[in-house]
Amino acid sequence: MESSLAPIQALVNQIKLEMFSSTLNPYSFLMPSAYDTGWLAMIPHPKQDSFPKFKGCLVWVLNNQKEEGYWGETGTDGLPTIDSLPATLACMMALKKWGVGENNVKKGLAFIHANSKMLLKEKCDHLPRWFTIVFPAMVELAQAMNLEVVFPKALEGVVLDIFLKRQQILEREEFVDQNCYPPLASYLEALPPSYNIDRKDITMNLSGDGSFFQSPSATACAFLATGNQQSMAYLESLIQRCPNGVPAMYPIDAELTTLCLVNQIQRLGLAGHFSEEVEEILKPIYKTYKNQEVEEIKPNIVPAKIYKDSLAFWLLRMYGYTVTPRNFCWFLCHEDIVVHIERNFECFTSAMYNVYRAADLIFPGEYELEEARLFSRKLLEKSMTLKSVNDNLVIFPNFRRVIEHELSLPWIARLDHLDHRMWIEENKTDTLWIGKASFYRLSNLHDDKLMTLAVENYKFRQSVYMNELEELKRWSKDWGLSDMGFGREKTTYCYFAIASSTNLPHDSIARMIVAKSAILVTVADDFFDMEGSLNDLQTLTQAVQRWDGEGLGGHAKIIFLALDNLVSEVAKNHLRHQGNDITKNLRDMWIETFVSWLTESTWSNTGYVPSLDEYLQTGMTSIATHIMTLPAMCFSNSSIHPTCKLNPNHYENITNLLMASARLLNDIQSYQKELEVGKKNFVVLHLKENPHGGIENSIAYVRELLDEMKKEFLEQAFMDGGNDLPKSFRHFHLSILRVFHMFFNSSNLFDSNNELLHDIKKAIYAPIEYQLVPTS
């Protein structure tokens, strides 16, 4: 196993050197924009106008044509995306202008002729705004340079329609329209002569750094039109920073770039390999973030600010920093901005996606986050119904799938291991931000290494999980737990849930402790619920209280012997690794659990109706999350060991919240079954105390309780000070809570026979579906 880990560690070390160096140029994280690089390559040298000013850009164009003949983006399927059309046209224009790359131009023209139908016809009714502006201009400019841009006859109507839509945009929008993002002015290079832009329109909209809306291509056009030396200085500065192909925006927001890098690492399941590096990135960002003041914001930069602020909130809160919702919910306090977002919601899809995710991490009393969640969900759902979306959904439909996944299943009910797989397989969703004619992405150089590491890391974990599951099945069979002849056989379910919800070290024994405990809990609980007589249950409970199985037989003996084996194994391991004997602590916790099962069975047999408080006090113990969580935590690598937390008379608040939440989650999905067999259930008891409200009212009441508990639990899990447990222990509690939310989110998946089989296959057995898209 260690030999399998060595290549992974070697790649981790390589990435640390290449990506986390203090001297690393943040622009090295971004993929060059072929479109913008082509435009800069067209600028002539001021002293020798028969030569390019930026020869490096021309060389980049010559060297970065794809084998198929295009420049620009490649999709997850290995095929070009529609931004390859304007990018290819811009690059061919640059080559044509300087009389070089004749073969490259021929290949580019052949590509357009052969692929324009595939790229345009299926998308002609829902092309994004940027493409509708840029593509016709590039066709016109290329043809003016005598490039034979010819489309198949079947496409003539489609191309004409795009030109007509471009004209409608030009007539409808102002040059600098505060309500359009990005404004028409940022497409300066793509505006036709008929638009009547004079030199004054250009110079008055130049930024202080000489750029035209921070767009290299628009600034190149502005310089060609005006000869403005500030614009040239801007372009020269850009080339100095990015000599090998330029990004779609300059200058970039370096903080946003590093936030997106951390986000990518987190979502690929690699955070454990780069914990120190991530902390070093987040510390200075936190200082800036907590002190930022929201000043008057121009509408055209609202999407980028919301995107960054909400992403920063999610990451900082996830890592335990003290941040407040107003750090990114500021837009809700500005009615004009809210109206602007609602009117242009399709341009805010990525921003609202980040807002929605940030709102997952809600603490008590954070009403702004509740409002932000409702607002962002409404707009995301609206975006999903559109054929035409001006964000990145059309070009990269896998982003649509990511959003649909986010909306359909709450974060709290998802398992990290499966989320990591989805993020790897939807590997082109690592967009940093949407440019006017392309995307800002992690460069292939860096992203390919991260992706390779993520794939190898996932495969390695699968091999560990496969071996452990086989070991667990043998244990379950050897002790007779898988052949009881009654109840639920859930060996695989139990292991899948704990393995997929946690990011424990590969050699941690905690997974097996939790899984074995869960199997034993399931078998014993079913024995108490459906198999044993009240006398059998009393006899077994008394044996557990004495910790002596003498006189037991049948199923009761099997349960006790397996329990004794598990407790002895855990205690011996703890004594060997940590130096103290926790046998009595473990026995006391199991005794407490068996007594709670007996209490509930006695209620059912005698018809006793407990109060809601009395029921919940017992039900918190009988759900047995504490017996799965606390012993496993004793094997953490932390210097603090929670042996004192194994005392049934004093559990931490976060443990109590876990126990209560798990019980209520179970009861919402099992009340019908338990009503039929006469077993007590919180929903049913609430209905008895409130008969006029109806069952739906009781379910709603329990859901409200769960929602408040979840908020308090998340605050305890992420923030220091609420208890004295180390962060790793609190996060382990959160993993167990997410397991119960997964099992009981919308139905009782735990009791299902096959609803989780597909997820189990993906988590443990099925090879990951990913291959790197080749780049030229």
pLDDT for the residue numbered 95: 97
pLDDT for the residue numbered 772: 58
**Virtual torsion, Cα 493, 562, 633, 637, nearest 10 deg:** -100
pLDDT for the residue numbered 663: 97
Report the 10 Å Cβ neighbour count for 535.
8
Report the 10 Å Cβ neighbour count for 689.
11
3-state class of 267 per DSSP?
helix
CB 389 within 8 A of CB 126: yes
Rounded distance between C-alpha atoms, residue 545 and residue 628, angstroms: 19
pTM for the whole structure: 0.89
Domains delineated in the chain: 31-241 (1.50.10.160), 254-442 (1.50.10.130), 489-760 (1.10.600.10)
Cis peptide before 251 (omega within 30 of 0): yes
pLDDT for the residue numbered 384: 87
Structure tokens that stand for 530 in this block: 């459906």
3-state class of 472 per DSSP?
helix
Q: What are the DSSP calls for 508-531, one per residue?
A: -SHHHHHHHHHHHHHHHHHIIIII
pLDDT for the residue numbered 23: 66
Long-range contacts of 641-648, Cβ-Cβ distance < 8 Å, separation of 24 or more: 641/578, 641/580, 642/725, 642/729, 643/578, 643/580, 643/582, 643/585, 645/725, 646/582, 646/585, 646/586, 646/588, 646/589, 647/585, 647/588, 648/588, 648/589, 648/592
Give the mean pLDDT per block of 10 residues along the chain (776 residues).
Answer: 81 90 71 93 93 96 96 79 92 96 96 91 73 94 94 89 93 78 85 86 88 92 93 95 88 86 93 94 92 74 88 96 94 91 85 95 97 96 73 55 92 96 75 51 65 94 96 96 89 96 86 96 94 94 96 95 97 89 94 97 93 97 96 73 64 95 96 83 94 91 97 96 84 96 94 94 93 51
DSSP state of 433: E
Question: How, if at all, do strands 439-441 and 431-434 pair?
Answer: antiparallel
Residue where the block lists tokens 């909209």: 205
Rounded distance between C-alpha atoms, residue 625 and residue 665, angstroms: 12
CB 441 within 8 A of CB 253: no
The one-letter code for the residue type at 624 is: A
Of the candidates 472, 393, 500, the one whose C-alpha atom is nearest the C-alpha of residue 439 is 393
Rounded distance between C-alpha atoms, residue 432 and residue 70, angstroms: 23
CB 147 within 8 A of CB 203: no
pLDDT for the residue numbered 637: 62
Rounded distance between C-alpha atoms, residue 107 and residue 704, angstroms: 62
As to burial, measured by CB atoms within 10 angstroms (0-12 exposed, 13-18 middle, 19+ buried), residue 371 is middle
Rounded distance between C-alpha atoms, residue 358 and residue 373, angstroms: 8
Rounded distance between C-alpha atoms, residue 205 and residue 501, angstroms: 52
Structure tokens that stand for 502 in this block: 């946690």
Structure tokens that stand for 558 in this block: 């099997």
DSSP state of 417: H
Orientation angle between helical segments 444-478 and 510-526, nearest 10 degrees:
40
pLDDT for the residue numbered 123: 63
Rounded distance between C-alpha atoms, residue 623 and residue 662, angstroms: 7
